[in-house]
Amino acid sequence: MAQTVIAPNAAAEADVPRGDFSGFRRYLAKDLLSGFLVFLIALPLCLGISLASGFPAIAGVFTAIVGAVVTSLISNSELTIKGPAAGLIVIVLGAVTDFKAIVGDAPDAATRAYQMTLAVGLVAGVIQIAFGAFRLGFLGEFFPSSTVHGMLAAIGVIIISKQIHVALGVMGVTGDPLPLLAKVPHSIVNMNPEIALIGGLSLLILFGWPYIKNKSIRRIPPQLVVVLTAIPLGQYFQLSEEHTYTLAGHNFKIGEQFLVKVPANLLAAITHPDFTALRYVAAWKWIALFALIGSLESLLSAKAIDLLDPWKRKTNFNRDVLAVGVANSLAALIGGLPMISEIVRSKANIDNGARTRFADMWHGVFLLAFVALVPGLIHQIPLAALAAMLVYTGFRLAHPREFLHVYHIGREQLLIFVCTLVGVLATDLLIGIVIGVAVKFTVHLVNGVPVRSLFKPYLSIEPLGENEYVVRASGSAVFSNWIPFKRQIEDIGLIQRNNLVIDLSDTKLVDSSVMEKLHELQREFEQEGLSLQIVGLDMHRQASEHEFAARKRSLKSLRRLTVVADDSLQDRLVGEFVKLGASGYTLSPCVGAGRRRIASGESPNRELVRIEVVAPGPVAESLLDFLRRDIMAEHAVTACLETVDVINPDQF
């Protein structure tokens, strides 16, 4: 992995790489190298995503070229790579499928559905331009994190359900996601062995690459290794020639249908939108999904890359959405897919040592040169290899770690995540997202969030000192009222240059989306040399130990350890309890007797001491372990551990 060395004063403007003319010249070598390495990853992914979306393979390359050149000139997002992404496959394929049904059995149905989908993409791009021009990039803040992750996981499952059959060499398997998954055993039984070997070996490379120890080898993009392995295998199996072969008594057909199809002439592949699509209601549904989901995914990716940027440069999200909208409109005019800021290629761009957004431009230039000069080489790539890459991408979107991550934030987040995922799989993308948001609202109402504060934050602002204010929130702080909440914080803090204290003590609930976004804002304040403190959560119970867990105002649960022992042990017990983490204790002299003393007939009363400690669970358990290990073996001691709810947990 390329290491970036930053000077001690890297925050100074002169030392921060910028995508201007001087930056183009100064960082040409580094950006050119990174652009070339990203091109090697992007080429097979662009082809595979395009085919999986129901578009011609070359359409994905058109998108990457236009996105790379146009957005690098308009956006200020220095390290993001723009291009087709797996997260949009479901939307594009859904639009193509709907238009095929509208067109019917016409001989050119597939071509017309493609052209009608281009019209949808162009109009959606214009809407994205409006989002940016009217500074509506903040709309991406509305959707709760668990719903977004559930949607992406569902997209991953859908991609796997469709592409696993192609990787096995079983073509023409269609249907909804769940029935497609049910057909996987049938495809395994009826797989084409030579094609399945290419697909299986490709999957083995992709899944096994992260386990390679050698850092130099791991720097090689696994997608490139897949292509360099699959092409010779395809030639060995003579995929470009129509023939049959026999294995275990079964005959299997082989031919060019298992290879990527690309036109010999790049200009001949240019296709224009069919605007008759806009007559149909279905078109406007897909336009809304293209514009909203595309913008949301692009914003999320740009935010994630900003956090990874070694120079902590900040993307102007309105400008970035505008740039993506312009590029989407132009790409649709020539037959390209919709695009977003793509996080996997952007991360590779950082790892390869890119400095400015011209690395994105160079990756597009290399793509253009490749498809213009050697289109025949693209035709040698087996479809099974591209399908394997998409299966791997889908698995990463729906990885079991995603379920565990959401569960660790809180069980209610897992409920929302799963409901969104199942909703998308059982219905479609739009309805699934609505289901996820509706479940989120229901959870909030069950937790006692006042209806009046679901969409409106109740804030009061008071000065604390010079350039310092406290923002007190009441009612609730949840995803649906976060946008106006954030505006207030940014206006008083980042724009007016003040340090802020966010007091949440009067809120009924602070949900996980707001907790996550408050932490993001803290990092933004730090980058600007300001401070943002979050206080007032002592009386709120966390849904889990995770820092982004939702907080609900209630009594705090702690553990109370009560110990009764001979008064001669008082000093020893108190001393050890304090060493083990007890922040306080209560002593009460008392008299009494245990079961053995009463049974022995001795004097029933003796001098005892009663010690009470209220502490967090781990501290209470360590005190109890000490008693069992060092005290109870030699002394008669009574100990009781119970859970108690306290008003001021910070006192313990």
Q: Are strands 551-553 and 540-542 parallel, antiparallel or unpaired?
A: antiparallel
C-alpha 245/C-alpha 258 separation (Å) is 15
Q: Are 295 and 140 in contact (CB under 8 A)?
A: yes
Mean pLDDT (whole number) for 562-571: 92
431 three-state secondary structure: helix
C-alpha 462/C-alpha 468 separation (Å) is 9
DSSP 162-188: HHHHHHTT-----S-HHHHHHTHHHHH
Residue 7 has pLDDT above 50, yes or no: no
Q: Quote the percentage of the chain above a pLDDT of 70.
A: 96
Closest CA to 610 of 634, 585, 631, 632: 585
Q: Is 557 left (phi over 0), alpha (psi -120 to 50) or beta?
A: beta
C-alpha 219/C-alpha 562 separation (Å) is 58
Q: Which residues contact 429 (CB under 8 A, 6 or more apart)?
A: 90, 91, 94, 151, 154, 155, 289, 293
User: Rounded to the nearest 10 degrees, how much is the dihedral formed by the CA atoms of 289, 295, 296, 302?
Assistant: 160
pLDDT at 589: 92
Q: Which residues contact 14 (CB under 8 A, 6 or more apart)?
A: none
pLDDT tens across 297-311, in order?
998 888 889 878 898
Bridge partners for 471 per DSSP: 461, 502
Q: Where are the beta strands (DSSP E) in 409-467?
A: 458-465
Q: Are strands 499-510 and 468-477 parallel, antiparallel or unpaired?
A: parallel
Q: Are 89 and 53 in contact (CB under 8 A)?
A: yes
Between 243 and 267, name the one with better pLDDT.
Answer: 243
C-alpha 294/C-alpha 281 separation (Å) is 20
Domain with CATH 3.30.70.120 in the chain: 556-651
Q: Which amino acid is at 548?
A: F
User: Which pLDDT band holds residue 141 (cuts at 50, 70, 90)?
Assistant: confident
C-alpha 88/C-alpha 91 separation (Å) is 5
Mean pLDDT (whole number) for 253-266: 90
Residue 466 has pLDDT above 70, yes or no: yes
pLDDT at 649: 65
Q: What values do phi and psi take at 610, rounded to 5?
A: -110, 125
Mean pLDDT (whole number) for 615-626: 90
pLDDT at 174: 87
Mean pLDDT (whole number) for 421-439: 92
DSSP 515-540: HHHHHHHHHHHHHTT--EEEE--TTE
Q: Write down the mean pLDDT value for the chain.
A: 91
User: Which pLDDT band holds residue 6 (cuts at 50, 70, 90)?
Assistant: very low
Count CB atoms within 10 A of the CB of residue 446. 9
Q: Are 595 and 564 in contact (CB under 8 A)?
A: no
Least confident residue range of 52-66, 120-134, 490-504, 603-617: 603-617
pLDDT at 37: 93
106 three-state secondary structure: coil
Domain with CATH 3.30.750.24 in the chain: 451-553
Which tokens hold the place of 215? 């850092």
Residue 108 has pLDDT above 50, yes or no: yes
Q: Quote the percentage of the chain above a pLDDT of 90.
A: 72
DSSP 260-282: ----SSTGGG-----GGGGGSHH
Residue 12 has pLDDT above 50, yes or no: no
User: Which pLDDT band holds residue 201 (cuts at 50, 70, 90)?
Assistant: very high
Homologous superfamily, domain 451-553: STAS domain (3.30.750.24)
Closest CA to 309 of 527, 32, 593: 527
Stretch (H or E) spanning 220: none
pLDDT tens across 377-386, in order?
999 999 999 9
Least confident residue range of 61-65, 134-138, 276-280: 134-138
pLDDT at 332: 97
Supply angle C-alpha 618, 620, 626, rounded to 5: 105
Residue 10 has pLDDT above 70, yes or no: no
Residue 596 has pLDDT above 80, yes or no: no
C-alpha 17/C-alpha 6 separation (Å) is 11
pLDDT at 182: 94
pLDDT at 169: 96
| CA atoms 497, 501, 507, 510: torsion sign | positive
User: Which pLDDT band holds residue 1 (cuts at 50, 70, 90)?
Assistant: very low
Stretch (H or E) spanning 192: none
556-651: CATH class: alpha beta
pLDDT tens across 579-592, in order?
998 988 999 999 88
pLDDT at 204: 97
Q: Which residues contact 555 (CB under 8 A, 6 or more apart)?
A: 539, 541, 645, 646, 647
C-alpha 626/C-alpha 563 separation (Å) is 12
Mean pLDDT (whole number) for 558-587: 91
Q: What is the 3-state secondary structure (H, E, C) of 590-602?
A: EEECCHHHHHHCC
C-alpha 371/C-alpha 39 separation (Å) is 12
Q: What are the residue ranges of helices labelled H in 253-399?
A: 281-308, 317-334, 343-351, 358-373, 375-379, 383-397
Least confident residue range of 19-23, 79-83, 114-118: 19-23
pLDDT at 303: 83
